[in-house]
Structures are given as structure tokens and as C-alpha cells.
Structure 1
Amino acid sequence: MRFVREERYLNVRAAAGEKTAGGETRQHSHLTPVIEYCGASARIYPLLALIGSWSLGGALLPWIAYAVWDWRILMLISSLPLLLTAAFYRYIPESSSWLMVHDRGQEAAGFLRRIATVNGRALDEDAFGEVLVDMTAQEPDKQTQSLLLVRKHPWLLKNMVLAIILWMISCLCFYGHTQNTGNLGGSVLSSFSLGATTELIAMAVPFVINALGRKWPMALFFVSSGTCGVLYALLRDVLPSGLRLALGLMGRMLIMGAYSTCLQYGPELFPTVIRGQSLALYETLGGVAIFVSPSIVYLHEHNPGLPLLIIGAMSLLGGALTTLLPETAGANLPQTLLDGDLLGRGGCGRTRCRSGGASGGGEERHERKQAEELAA
């Protein structure tokens, strides 16, 4: 800052802030195609990798900052590794589901054959052909690729609105807890590192939601974190400092569970034909919530317990809203808008219907016909 004019420095900082907000979207955008390539029982593993890398990096960052103690060097250390991602771009396959619903089945088959070869398996050409015919069938919503058309599918619209609201709540609460860690007492470096280390425990979350589903674990994470926040605010003056710190960090760890589950929930609720647009909106509005969180944390200057009281209340609200979402664990990802509209209304996944024989297929066609009539 000594070598640049003040207005130029402010311009660069504003640009960095814009890139950081966009980075929230880019940070999670890679999760979507990976999830689409995973089976229903394996969709937790990309989330596990994301939680582990995030938590480990967060635990190490304050001690790297302490070691270098120069913001310029710290900026280089945290920024230069990002350039390595360009070297891996050519190895990232396009989503096979997206290719198939856009009539590019041969490209999807090529990617799947390559993946099968690496895994020492062979692509079941007959099964792939059935799926391809099913996904490229002429349906009323086959060619629709606009979020605006979601209004014709009320159940899908309800689920998407709820998912976005819950994502905003989880972003506000998670980043609010993270930013408030320095207010819990002790050294900022040690408190931040300890808080990030507690998030490593959240690596158990993918296994929990794989065994118990998405909805009820996420509701429990929200309610438990909210309870910790409210108790911290109400009992702060009578609790010893160590117990206050433990209660605050417990709330942060639990909201990490809700945040991680919500990160998994969105891609599983959004249909393939609009998944990219939906996630862009999802992450953008989450960024708006993150933008608000420092203002809540700043209320510590007026009342030390107020930030966690507000964050705790929002978490409790999130827990209540979560109960209104359908369960997605073990279900096939919805491909079209009609698939998304059937999710949670007794509709079944494509593979499960197909394996159920002729009667299963008839039930699915009947459900689709009802959904088409509702959308008309």
C-alpha cells in the first residue's frame, strides 16, 4: 500500500472482492458434474473431499500467516496455486446427463466408456441405450432450459425456493460463526485455527447423510447449532470463558454440518436441464447472505451475545424449513422439469421404475401424465 495511490488500491480491493464473491460460485461449481457421474450411494464422496480440503486449509491458514507475517507474501502463497487448475481443465469431462438431455448421447457414451476403462469395467451398452432413449424422449419440458418455466411446475418451484432460502440461511450462519470466532476470546490465530479444526469433525457428515438421508440430519444440524447460539447469548455472562468458547465452537461445527448437507441438497433437487442456471442463482443469493453476515457480527460492539443470538435464531428457522423438503437420498437425479416436479410427490427414479417391470413403468407414465396436466 506504500507504493500505490489510495484510490488505485481501493479499486484493486473492490475487484478482489468481486472475484471473491464469484469464487464462492466457482468453488462449488466443480461439485455438480462430479455428483452427476456418481451413483446414488457414492454421491457423498465429492462432498467429503470438499469438506476435508476446506477444513484442513482453514486450520493451517492462520499458522501460515503467523509464519510469514507479511500480507503480500501471504497473498502470493494463497493465490499462485490457483493457477495450477488451468493445467487440469482438459481432463475434466462434461456432464454425461447434460450431454444426453441435449441430444449429444455419443459424446456422453465416449466419456462413460473412458471412465469405465479407467475403473476396469465395461459400459453396459444396452442399459445406456435404454437410458438414452428415455432421456431424449419428446416430453413437454424436453427443450425448456429456462428458470422462468419452473413456474409451470408448482412442486418443483416450492422445492427450489425452499432450497435457496435454506442455502442463504446456511451461508449467513456458517460465515457468521466463522467471522465471530475472534470474538469468542483468546488469540485470534488460535481461536480461528481451533474453529477450523472442529470443522474436520464435519467430515463425518457425508457418511451420516448417506445412512440417514438428507432432510432430518440437516434439520438436526440447524436446530442443534441454533440452540448453541441462543444458549451462548443468554448464558454468556454466567459461563466461564472456556465453556463459552466450547459452546461457540460447537455451534460452528454443527452449522458446518448443515452447510455441507445443503451444498449436497441443491444439485440433487435441481433438474439437469436447468441445474447450471439453478446453481448459479443458488450461489449468487448465498453470496448476498454472506455479504450481510459481517454486519451481524459487528453487533458484538454493542452487545457481545447479540451476533450468536441472531445467528442461532436463523438456524432454528432453517431447521423448521428443512422439514418441508423432500428426501433425495438414494433417488436418481431429476433430468427434466417434470422429473423435478415428481420428486417428493410419490414419483420414482428412472432406474427404479425401469427395474420394477411393466407395472412400474406404467405408474411412472401415469404420474408424468398427471404432472403434464398440472403444468398445462
Structure 2
Amino acid sequence: MQFEKILDEVGGFGLYQKVMCFSMIPFTTGLCGMVYYVQLIVLSVPDFRCAFPKTSTLSIPNAHTLSTTNSSTNAATVSSVYTGMSYNMSTGNDTEIFFHSTCHYPAEGADGAEIPCTDWVFDDVNMLPTLSTENLWVCENAWRPYTIMTMFWVGNVVGALSMGLVSDRFGRRPALLVCCLLYGTAGVASAFVSNFYAFLVLRMLVGSVHHTLPHLSFVIVLEFCSSSRRVVPLFVVTMIYTVASMLATVLAYSIWGWRTLVVITAAPALAIVFIYHWIPESASWQLTQGKIEEATTKLHHIASVNGKNLSRENISKIIAKATNNVELVSNKKDSEINNQHDDSSYTNTKLLSVLLTYPILRRRIIIVMIIWMLGCMCYYGHAQNTANMGKHLLLNYFLGAAAEIPSWATPFLIERFGRKPPLFAVFLLSGVAGIVYCGLVGVVNVSAVGLIGRLAVSAVYCITLQYGPEVFPTVVRGQGVAMAETLAGIAILLSPAIGYLEEYYNGLPLLVFGLLGCIAAGLTLLLPETKGISLPNTPEEAENITPSN
């Protein structure tokens, strides 16, 4: 189906598409950026120390900057036997040494004996009180925040696949409604529970639609845009996610309360109830499903908004002309449209069927899956490395998000040079940066090298988001993106395990991510170029994208 020709007639990037692009994408992507960063903040554990018994013989300078979990704890003093280990007597500076995240303190009068801490003092000057500090999730309970984050991504793996099936079977619009309602309801509810397991289940539900929500709205907008303007939605996604992530840290600093922060960032998702009427269904998807009347009505409305003087009859003729050489599913009342194949050719098309039937497309889809997976793994791996820039956690999060601002240029680069060459270049750059970082860490200051790697993988993520959906045909695009997101979720689950290699050698995690980046760069060369090519609607069209492109 030459849907691109239909868009040329009704307007491929007129007022209608601009309104969609600058309203739907900021709504969903902005939500997800804030919710995810708020979750990181809520589960963060600032520097801490044992809350020692009130047997101190030495006052601690700047004691007003310290706080305790329980009011009964004396934050201004520490046990005298422990003071010599934590307090710098020569400089009088306890700021850097005092909060050293210990789980035991020496027993007075016992050589080498230690007593387990039962209460802790947290540095709440540089970080607001969080769920983790409120529930003392440190030391023997330090696994709890990690488990919540892990189950969040487990939910993402399960939800991405199921929502992809819903998207291709029932449409992009209903799937978006389900995602928003679940995202908002579970997100708000998690602010009102204190039980670990209840919070875990609710965040798992939030995670089940976390990636699907912004990607679904992106796909809706993408399917309405002509090939020459498909990078505009990508630019909006890139920009909004960065701004939303930075805004989350600003809100955290301003509100200084994790429950309120969770509510005000999750609740806007429920606004879908009021705006659902104005969210369009993908006309391209409607045509591939035989919903000719609905697609004609939608395209006529688009033409009207874009200032195109086309009657409904003209739209019908344009659709008939664009689809007369394609396997288009038609309802019986639309049987006047010329079809060369059976009416049910593409209804309920399954991704597995496409993979088994079309060998060239199968190879490309598998490569896209691997690249998507490696891109996400490397992105989150580099992000973990930039999180340890100092003691001020909110500032770390803010700077980590701000480091992605240069990646806003990515859409313009892929519009100028295509998708494949820039993706190869940034994958390779991230790989080389990771390898160099590993080789030089401990010898010279390699912060700049790490930052270059972070910028490169940010660009990788942006290009993959654009490149992947352009390879999938419309009839399985939702399932394809969902499967890619499922693999990405699995990769993200593995990312913290790779990050744990830092316990053995500081540069080892980035060495692994660097090598993976180089492998992904090589795989990129096996994909076709999709710049300037109409989005394929059928497997045949996707199969016939020439390798030389």
C-alpha cells in the first residue's frame, strides 16, 4: 500500500501532524521521563552512618546538618570509641568521612569486635528523605530497592509484549488508553503504601507500560508523517525526555517529599480520560485492517485541517488508487476497492508468521532486535556510571540528564546522513570510549571519556527508536516494537549485573559495554537504509527494501 502517496495528498506534515507531534509526544514522553527519574530518586539511599549510642565524649562540628531516622537518636554526638575512626581530628572536617555507609560499629573495649547497627543517620542535606531512608533499606535490607527496580523492568518485559499484541489487534488508540490508566492509577497508588511487597507490585504494574506508553504515541504520530518529516517526532521525543528528567530533579528539590513527588508526576496520566476523544487512530493501521470507512473519515479530516480542499469522494479515490496493487483487507461494504488477494490476507497478522515466511525480513528483524537490546543495555550501563559523580544525588541526576542535551542534534544528523551511518558511528564511538575508559581509569582523569560514551549511547537510543519501527511493516509494527522492547527490558535487567563488575575493577563494566557497542556497530552495517523511504505496510514491501538503500 502506497500510504505515502495518500499522505502527500492530504498533507504529510501539516497543521494536523504538528499538533499531534507537539501535544501527544510531550504528554506521554514527558510523563515517563519524570516518573522514571522520580522512581530513581525515591529509591535512592544517600550517605549514611550508624546511629550510635549516646555515650559520646566528643561533640561533632556542624551537627545541625545531620539528621536521624528516630527522634531518640542524638545526631550531635557519636560514641567515643568510634570517633577516632570517623572524624578527622586534624582538619575538623567530618563532612566527607562522617557518612561512610557502615553497617557495624566497633564495640567499646573489645579489640576488633563490631556491633550491628539497628538504626541509621542519613545525610538529608544533599538528598530529600526517600522511601528507602524512611524504611531503613540499607545494609541487610539494601536488596529491597534493587529488587523493586528489577521487578519494574520485569513488568516492562511482560507488558511490552502484551501491549504490542493489543496495539496490532485492537488499534494504537485503545492500547494507549489502557497504558495511561494503568500508569496513572498504579503510580498514584504507590505513594500511599508503605509495605514493601505492595509497593513492589504497584511499581511492577507501572513498569509494565513504562516503555510502551511513549513509544506507542510515537508510533501513532510517526504513521501520520511523510518520510521527509519523520525525524521531527524523534527530535520532540529526545528533547522532551531530557527536559522532563531534569524537571523531575527540580521538582524533587522544590517539594522535598517523596510521596507528593510521586503523586504529582503520575497523576497527569489519568487525564487521558478527558482527552481520549481527540486522540486519533492510525489511518495506516485502519487500512491494513480493512477499516476503509474509518480511514477515509480520518484522512478527510486531516486534509481539512491541513487546508487541503478534498471531498470525501476524492479521498476514497486516492485510497483506491494507492491500494489497488496491494493485499488490503476489506470489509464487505468496501468490496468495490480492487484487491488481488483474499480479503483476510492481513487481518490479525502475527509477527511469528512473518518471520517464518519472509527470510530477508526475518534476518533484518532479528538484527533490529539485537541492536535495540544492545543499545538499551549500553545506554543504562553508561547512565549508571555517570550517577557516581559526587555526594549530591539530586545534582548528579540533574547533570546526568543534562549530559544528553547534545543528542538533540541526532534527528538532524540522521535526516542529513541517513539512519545507518550515524548509528554505526555512535555505536562505535561509545564502544571505543568504553574501552579507553577501562584502559585509563586510575591512571588519569577519564570523566570526559565517560561523558563522551554517555552522549554517544544517548544518540544510539534516539536513532534506534527511529530506525527500528521503519524496518517493521505496519501490520506487525506494534508487535515488532513490543518484541524489541521486551528484549530491551531483558537487557536492562542484565545491565546492573554488568555494573557490579566494578567491585572487581573500576573500568570493567564500561569495557563490557564498549565491546558490546562495537559488536552492535558491525551489525548495523547489515541493515538497509530507510531514509526517504515510505513506511512499509505489508511484509512484501518490507522484504523488498533493497540492501543497497
Q: 1:118 aligns to what?
A: 305
Among 353, 363, 377, the alignment partner of 1:149 is 353
Shift of 1:193: 1.6
Q: Would the alpha carbon gap of residues 235 and 186 (structure 1) be closer, same or farther in structure 2, given more than 3 Å must change?
A: farther
- 1:151-300 counterparts in 2 under 5 A? 151-185=356-390, 187-240=392-445, 244-300=446-502
Per-residue deviation, residues 5-37 of structure 1 (Å, max 9, x unmatched): 999422322331342143112221111121111
1:312 maps onto 2:503 in alignment: no
Q: Would the alpha carbon gap of residues 186 and 251 (structure 1) be closer, same or farther in structure 2, given more than 3 Å must change?
A: farther
Distance across 2 between alignment mates of 1:274 and 1:114: 26
Shift of 1:213: 0.7
Shift of 1:77: 2.5
- 1:47-62 counterparts in 2 under 5 A? 47-62=234-249
In proportion to residue count, which structure has more helix?
Answer: 1
Q: Would the alpha carbon gap of residues 139 and 259 (structure 1) be closer, same or farther in structure 2, given more than 3 Å must change?
A: farther
Shift of 1:346: 6.8
2:364 aligned partner, one-letter code? N
- 1:1-150 counterparts in 2 under 5 A? 8-123=195-310, 125=315, 126-135=317-326, 136=328, 137-139=339-341, 142-143=346-347, 145-150=349-354
Shift of 1:48: 1.0
Q: Indicate the SS of the match to 1:134.
A: coil
Q: Indicate the SS of the match to 2:404.
A: helix
Shift of 1:246: 2.1
Q: Would the alpha carbon gap of residues 246 and 153 (structure 1) be closer, same or farther in structure 2, given more than 3 Å must change?
A: same
Q: 1:366 aligns to what?
A: none
1:340 maps onto 2:542 in alignment: yes
Identify the range of structure 1 (173-182 vs 64-73) with the bigger mean alpha-carbon deviation. Answer: 64-73
CA contact (8 A) 1:105 1:132 kept: no
2:350 aligned partner, one-letter code? S
Q: Would the alpha carbon gap of residues 105 and 38 (structure 1) be closer, same or farther in structure 2, given more than 3 Å must change?
A: same
Percent identity between matched residues is 36
CA contact (8 A) 1:215 1:322 kept: yes
CA contact (8 A) 1:100 1:132 kept: no
CA contact (8 A) 2:379 2:461 kept: yes
CA contact (8 A) 2:358 2:543 kept: yes
Structure of greater relative contact order (alpha carbons < 8 Å, 6+ residues apart): 1
Unmatched runs of 5 consecutive residues or more in structure 2: 1-130, 136-190, 329-338
CA contact (8 A) 2:407 2:455 kept: yes
Q: Would the alpha carbon gap of residues 346 and 214 (structure 1) be closer, same or farther in structure 2, given more than 3 Å must change?
A: closer
1:319 aligned partner, one-letter code? A
Distance across 2 between alignment mates of 1:56 and 1:320: 32
Shift of 1:251: 0.9
Distance across 2 between alignment mates of 1:297 and 1:251: 15
Shift of 1:163: 0.3
Shift of 1:345: 4.6
CA contact (8 A) 2:498 2:509 kept: yes
Shift of 1:139: 4.2
1:263 aligned partner, one-letter code? L
CA contact (8 A) 2:193 2:199 kept: no
Per-residue deviation, residues 126-151 of structure 1 (Å, max 9, x unmatched): 43331133342334854560112121
Per-residue deviation, residues 154-195 of structure 1 (Å, max 9, x unmatched): 000001000011000111111122222123456333232222
Per-residue deviation, residues 35-74 of structure 1 (Å, max 9, x unmatched): 1110000111111111111011112222322332322122
Identify the range of structure 1 (160-169 vs 182-191) with the bigger mean alpha-carbon deviation. Answer: 182-191
TM-score under structure 1 normalisation?
0.85
Distance across 2 between alignment mates of 1:184 and 1:306: 18
Distance across 1 between alignment mates of 2:192 and 2:541: 56
Q: Would the alpha carbon gap of residues 49 and 278 (structure 1) be closer, same or farther in structure 2, given more than 3 Å must change?
A: same
Distance across 2 between alignment mates of 1:223 and 1:40: 27
Distance across 2 between alignment mates of 1:113 and 1:21: 35
Q: 2:11 aligns to what?
A: none
Q: Indicate the SS of the match to 1:167.
A: helix
2:487 aligned partner, one-letter code? L
Distance across 2 between alignment mates of 1:269 and 1:316: 22
Shift of 1:200: 1.6
1:146 aligned partner, one-letter code? K
Q: Indicate the SS of the match to 2:403.
A: helix
1:236 aligned partner, one-letter code? V
Unmatched runs of 5 consecutive residues or more in structure 1: 348-376
Q: 1:354 aligns to what?
A: none
Shift of 1:75: 1.1
Identify the range of structure 1 (315-324 vs 5-14) with the bigger mean alpha-carbon deviation. Answer: 5-14
Matched residue count: 344
Distance across 2 between alignment mates of 1:61 and 1:28: 20
Identify the range of structure 1 (68-77 vs 216-225) with the bigger mean alpha-carbon deviation. Answer: 68-77
Distance across 2 between alignment mates of 1:130 and 1:5: 56
> CA RMSD, aligned part only?
2.4
Higher radius of gyration, 1 or 2: 2
